[in-house]
Amino acid sequence: MISLLWLIPVTLALGLAGLWVFSWTVSSGQYEDLDAAKHRILDDDG
């Protein structure tokens, strides 16, 4: 039971951190051009 008092806040903190990182990547435009990566590898010469 003592471990739940430790695990629940840690789980919530990690979940909120993941949500913050995801929202940061969306707002910075990481997912705007998903098709360019698959074409860029074919166009790379070296």
19 — pLDDT class (breaks 50, 70, 90): very high
Indicate whether 41 pLDDT > 80: no
For residue 44, give the amino acid letter.
D
DSSP 34: S
From residue 31, alpha-carbon distances to 9, 28, 34, 40 in Å are: 30, 9, 6, 15
- State the pTM of this model: 0.68
DSSP, res 44: -
The pLDDT of residue 45 is above 70:
no
Q: Who wins on pLDDT, 40 or 45?
A: 40
- Contact assessment for residue 30 and residue 24, using Cβ atoms and an 8 Å cutoff: no
